[in-house]
Amino acid sequence: MGESSDSVSVDIDMLPFGGKEHVVKTSKGSISVYVYGDQEKPALITYPDVALNSMSCFQGLLFSPDSASLLLHNFCIYHIDAPGHENDANKSLSPPFVQELLQLGADVISSDVPLLSVDDLAVQVAEVLDFFGLKQVLCLGVMAGAYILTLFAMKYQELVLGLILVSPICKAPSWTEWFYNKVLMNLLYFYGMCGILKECLLQRYFSKEIRCSVQGTEADIIEACRRLLDERQGLNVMRFLQAINERYDLTEGLENLQCRTLIFVGESSQFHDESVYMSTKMGKKTCALVEVEACGSLVTEEHPYAMIIPIEFFLMGFGYHRQPYFASSSSTGTNPTSPSSRCCIAPELLSPESLGIKLKPIKTRVDIDV
For residue 293, give every residue at least 6 positions away whose Cβ sits within 8 Å of its Cβ, in sequence order, or none. 267, 358, 359, 360
In the chain, how many H helices and how many E strands? 17, 9
Give the tens place of pLDDT for each residue, 284-307: 889 999 999 999 999 999 999 999
Are the beta carbons of 84 and 109 closer than 8 angstroms? yes
pLDDT(94) > 90: no
Beta strand spans in 126-283 (E): 137-142, 160-166, 260-266
Q: CA-to-CA distance for 98 and 102, rounded, in angstroms?
A: 6
Q: Can you give the pTM of this predicted structure?
A: 0.83
User: Which domains does the chain show, CATH number per domain?
Assistant: 20-317 (3.40.50.1820)
Q: What is the DSSP letter of 123?
A: H
C-beta of residue 185 within 8 angstroms of C-beta of residue 242: yes
**C-alpha span between 207 and 134 (Å, rounded):** 36
What's the rounded Cα separation, in Å, for the pair 179 and 5? 43
Mean pLDDT, the chain, integer = 82
Q: Is the pLDDT of residue 120 over 60?
A: yes
Q: Is the dihedral of CA 262, 266, 270, 272 positive or negative?
A: positive
CA–CA gap between residue 128 and residue 147 (Å, rounded): 17
> Residues 21-36: what's their mean pLDDT?
92
